[in-house]
């Protein structure tokens, strides 16, 4: 394994992130797609990905106007981050919260705007037996985090 790149090791460690190496920031920190509790199972929610999740500024899930508990909001934002960071275009990233609340985030293929990697994505949220959907886009900024476009 000594000759494997960081991206190859991520693929070996978590087969769900093969595209995570395709959307790296050209400058700044390289966020590890495998910091999610869902991918590795034992990491704390206070992992290094929390900085990247916070940069989503509430994500597009806030556009649904559905009131979520803080835990469900964190799960929803983590799913948005994972979809933007590592998911192949069109592959859903699902999450499940308390009391039947859950969602599905689907990011499209990355595209370039100047020197930035960007992705359009959607978030379907199911709560109280109703499903709502929000759509948006985010670009990776010079700090390596995803910033939503408004």
Is the pTM here over 0.85, yes or no? no
The closest alpha carbon to 121, from 134, 107, 131, 133, belongs to: 107
70 pLDDT above the threshold of 70 = yes
125 pLDDT above the threshold of 70 = yes
2 pLDDT above the threshold of 60 = no
139 pLDDT above the threshold of 70 = yes
- Higher-confidence residue of 126 and 6: namely 126
Which residue pairs from 9-14 have beta carbons closer than 8 angstroms and sit at least 24 positions apart in sequence?
10/34, 13/40, 14/39, 14/40
63 pLDDT above the threshold of 90 = no
Compute the distance between CA of residue 59 and CA of residue 81 in angstroms, rounded to an integer. 9
- Classify residue 88 as exposed, middle or buried by CB count within 10 Å of its CB (0-12, 13-18, 19+): middle
Strand pairing partners for 96?
Answer: 102
78 pLDDT above the threshold of 80 = yes
106 pLDDT above the threshold of 50 = yes
């Amino acid at each position: 394994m000594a000759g494997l790149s960081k991206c190859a090791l991520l693929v070996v460690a978590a087969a769900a992130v093969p595209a995570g190496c395709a959307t790296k920031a050209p400058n700044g920190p390289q966020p590890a797609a495998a910091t999610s509790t869902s991918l590795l199972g034992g990491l704390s929610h206070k992992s290094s990905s929390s900085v990247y999740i916070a940069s989503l500024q509430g994500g597009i899930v806030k556009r649904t106007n559905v009131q979520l508990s803080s835990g469900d909001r964190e799960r929803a934002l983590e799913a948005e981050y994972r979809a933007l960071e590592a998911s192949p275009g069109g592959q859903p990233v699902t999450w499940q919260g308390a009391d039947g609340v859950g969602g599905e985030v689907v990011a499209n293929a990355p595209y370039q705007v100047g020197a930035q990697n960007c992705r359009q994505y959607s978030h379907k949220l199911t709560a109280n037996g109703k499903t709502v959907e929000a759509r948006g886009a985010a670009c990776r900024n010079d700090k390596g985090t995803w910033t939503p476009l408004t």
